[in-house]
A and B are shown apart, each in its own frame.
Chain A
C-alpha cells in the first residue's frame, strides 16, 4: 500500500509526458503559424502523423545493419526514461531517486550517440553531414549542461531533481546571480539540444542545412515515428526541466492530496503552453545562424554555466 500510490503517480507521470509531448510540438507549430499569419496545422496533427507512420510499412536501406533498426527503439526508450525522471507536476517521484540530473544528461547523450551511429550506418552523405554537425554541437552542449548541473547542485545541495525542485520551491534561494546565469545557459543548451532555431530549423526542406533531420532522412514508418516521438519528448523534457528548477510554481510535493496534485497538473500545462508561445515568438523573430556560429553560441552557454559555478565558489550567496 505504501508503494502503490507513488508507483501509480510515477506511471501517471510517465504516460503524461508521453501523451503530452506531441501536443507541445503541435502547439509550438500552431503558434508559429499564427504568428506568421498562417492558419497552421491542427493541434492534433502530430498525433495523426505518428499514427500514419506507425501504420505504414518500414523501408530500410539494403546497406543498413541491425544497428539502424535497433537505434529508434533505443533512442525512444532512453529519452522516455530521461523524461520520466524530471518532476512535472509532483516532486516526490519514485524513480527520481534512481537517477539525478547527471543521469539525465548521460541518458540523452546515449540517445544522441545511437542517433549518430545510425545516421552513419547507412552511408548516405546526409547522415554523415548531420552526424558531424551534431557531434560538433554536442561537444560543447554536454559540458555546458554539466556546468549548469554543478551550479544548481551547489545551491540546492544535491543533484537530485526532487531535492532541487523542493529547495527552489521553498523560496529560500532568493534571487541569485549564479542561478540567472544557469537559467540563460540552460535555455541555450535546450535550444541546441532540441534542434530549434537559430541552431537548426525543424521545418526546413533543405537537406544541406539540416542537422537533426539529416540524421533521420533514411528512416520511415514506425522507426521514424519513434524518433519523432523521442524528439518531441526531448523538447518536453527540457521545458519540464527548466520549469521544475527555475519556475517550480504550483508543483505538488510528495504525499500531497488530490487537490494540490490537480493544481500541479494544471500549473504544469500552463507552463508548457507559456514555454511553447515564448519559443514560437523567439523562433519567429530570428533567422538561422551559420553552422560555424553555433559553437560560439553553445560556447557562450558553457561559459555562463562555468561562471555560475565559479561564482558559487567565490561566495555561497551569489
Chain B
C-alpha cells in the first residue's frame, strides 16, 4: 500500500473531505529531486481502513486541502515550514513551527496575530514561559474586560526535528525515538509505529505480544486519565482531589514499573512484538491492584459530583460546538465529549482489541464536565479491558524477528492513545526508515480549544486548557 502519486485521485479525496464524506487523518510532505510530494491520509465514512494518496509538488507547489477543509490548515503551514512545500490557495500562510531561528528559516518577519477589533478590546500575551512547570506555548488573548474575544495559540517552541532524526536510521533506533515524541503517550506512539512497520513488512505479531501491548496501552491511558482528572480539579482550585488522584496515578505507574520495568513503559513495545513479558507474579499484582484503584477512584468521582463549588466551575465551561468538533476531526475525550462517536479500538480494530467488546462513552454537552466524565468512563472501561486482557493472556513468544526486505515497502496504522487516535506512517527499505510520519491528536485539539474558549472568561482558560490537555511537543515534529 505504498502511497502512489495520483493527482486525479487527490482531487477526488479532497472533494470527499470538503463534502464531509471522509475524515481528515494527516498530511505530511517529503522532498525529492523534482521538488517533492505531499501525502494525504483520510478515513472514508464507514470504512475500516485509511487511504493514503499523494500529490506531486513540482516547483514545490501543490493545491491546498486546507482551502476546502479547515483541519488541514495547521499541517499545511507546518509542511511549508519543514519541507518548504507551498500549498496554493492556503487561507493562512503564516509560519507555524518556524520561528525564524532555523538555518533554512523562511519566517523572517514578525508573526501577525489575527486582529480582534472593537471598543475596549485589548490583548494579553501569555507564555511561552509560564509561571508553572508546563510545556512552552504562547497564547494571545484578545479580551474585552474578562471576556475572551479571540484566542490564538502559537506553538513550535519544542521543535526537535524528530522525524529528520528517524529518517535513514535503523528501525529499532527509530522505534526508540518515536517513543520520545510525547512522553505521556510513549506506549501509544511506539504501538502505532510498530504496527505501521509490521504492516509494511507483512509481519504478524505473536498473540501474546499483542495482548501485552494492549495491557501497556490501557495502563498508560489509566495513568494519564487519572492524572488529568486530578489536574482539572486542581485548576479549579480544588486540590484535594488532585492529591488523591495523584496517589492513584502513582499506584498505576508503580504497577507498570513492577510489571514492565519502567513507570511509563518506555521502549517496551518494538516493531515485531514487545521486549518485556508478564510473569505470573506481575499478572497477580495487576489483577489485585487495578480493581482496588478503581474502588478508591469511585469515591473520588463521588466527591467530584457532590462538590457544588467544583461543579459550578466545570459545568458549561469551555463548550465546544459538536459540529465544529466533527469538522475539525477531534478525537479522544474532546471529540467524544462533543458527540463524536469514534474510537480506533472499536471502529478500526487492531489486535488485541479485535477480540474485545470496547465500550465507548459519548456525551454531547461538550463542556469541561463532559470531558471529565468521558475520562471517568474511560478509566472504568480501561480497568475492565485490562482484566479481560489479563484473562486472555495467550501463550506464545513475545517477539517475531523482522524479515529483511530489500524492496521499498510502506505501512500505516491508527492507534487510540489517551488523547485520541495517533496515526503513524512509515516507509522502510532494507531495515532502514526511508520516510516516516506520526500525527498526534493534538493537531486537531488546538484549533478546537481556540474555538471553545471564545466567550469564556480569561480566568477559566487554564481549566479549559487542562480539560483539552493537548500536547505541545506532539505536534512539533
* Residue pair B309, A209 in contact (C-beta under 8 Å): no
Choose from A35, A132, A201, A291 the contact partner of B457 (Cβ within 8 Å): A291
Contacts of B243 in A (CB 8 A): 36-38
Contacts of B233 in A (CB 8 A): 287
Choose from B131, B244, B460, B461 the contact partner of A205 (Cβ within 8 Å): B131
Report if A208 contacts B (CB, 8 A). Answer: yes
Contacts of A201 in B (CB 8 A): 237
Measured between alpha carbons, how far is A158 from B339 in the docked complex, in Å?
A: 64
The B418-477 residues at the A interface (CB cut-off 8 A) are: 457-462
Report if B236 contacts A (CB, 8 A). Answer: yes
Contacts of A98 in B (CB 8 A): none
The B215-243 residues at the A interface (CB cut-off 8 A) are: 233, 235-240, 243
* Residue pair B461, A287 in contact (C-beta under 8 Å): no
Report if A3 contacts B (CB, 8 A). Answer: no
Report if A62 contacts B (CB, 8 A). Answer: no
* Residue pair B462, A206 in contact (C-beta under 8 Å): yes
The residue among B126, B133, B244, B309 with the most chain A CB atoms within 10 A of its own CB is B309
Contacts of A287 in B (CB 8 A): 233, 236-238, 307, 309-310, 312-313
* Residue pair B239, A36 in contact (C-beta under 8 Å): yes
Contacts of A284 in B (CB 8 A): 239-240
Measured between alpha carbons, how far is A299 from B146 in the docked complex, in Å?
A: 19
Bitwise, A189-209 to B at CB < 8 A (1) or not (0) is 000000001100101111111
Residues of chain A at interface, number, CB under 8 A: 29
Chain A nearest CB from B345 CB (Å) reads 33
Choose from A197, A205, A285 the contact partner of B132 (Cβ within 8 Å): A205
* Residue pair A292, B146 in contact (C-beta under 8 Å): yes
Report if A242 contacts B (CB, 8 A). Answer: no
Report if A1 contacts B (CB, 8 A). Answer: no
Report if B48 contacts A (CB, 8 A). Answer: no
Query: If A206-B132, A207-B126 touch, does A129 touch B240 (CB 8 Å cutoff)?
Result: no
Measured between alpha carbons, how far is A229 from B350 in the docked complex, in Å?
A: 60
* Residue pair B146, A209 in contact (C-beta under 8 Å): no
The B82-134 residues at the A interface (CB cut-off 8 A) are: 123-126, 130-133
Residues of chain B at interface, number, CB under 8 A: 31
Query: If A197-B237, A208-B462, A289-B309 touch, does A129 touch B457 (CB 8 Å cutoff)?
Result: no
Chain B nearest CB from A299 CB (Å) reads 17
Measured between alpha carbons, how far is A35 from B241 in the docked complex, in Å?
A: 11
Contacts of B237 in A (CB 8 A): 197-198, 201, 204, 209, 286-288
Contacts of A217 in B (CB 8 A): 131
Contacts of B235 in A (CB 8 A): 206, 209
Contacts of B313 in A (CB 8 A): 287-290
The B280-315 residues at the A interface (CB cut-off 8 A) are: 307, 309-310, 312-313
Measured between alpha carbons, how far is A115 from B133 in the docked complex, in Å?
A: 27
B233 to A, closest residue via Cβ: A287
* Residue pair B459, A209 in contact (C-beta under 8 Å): yes
Chain B nearest CB from A286 CB (Å) reads 5
Contacts of B310 in A (CB 8 A): 287
What are 12 A-to-B residue pairs whose CB atoms are below 8 Å? A35-B240, A36-B243, A125-B126, A198-B237, A198-B309, A206-B462, A217-B131, A286-B238, A286-B307, A287-B233, A287-B310, A287-B313
> Which B residues contact A (CB, under 8 angstroms)?
123-126, 130-133, 145-146, 233, 235-240, 243-244, 247, 307, 309-310, 312-313, 457-462
16 further A-B pairs in the complex, CB-CB below 8 A; given A38-B243, A289-B309, A291-B146: A36-B243, A36-B244, A125-B123, A125-B124, A126-B124, A198-B237, A203-B239, A206-B462, A208-B126, A286-B237, A287-B238, A287-B312, A288-B236, A288-B309, A289-B312, A290-B312
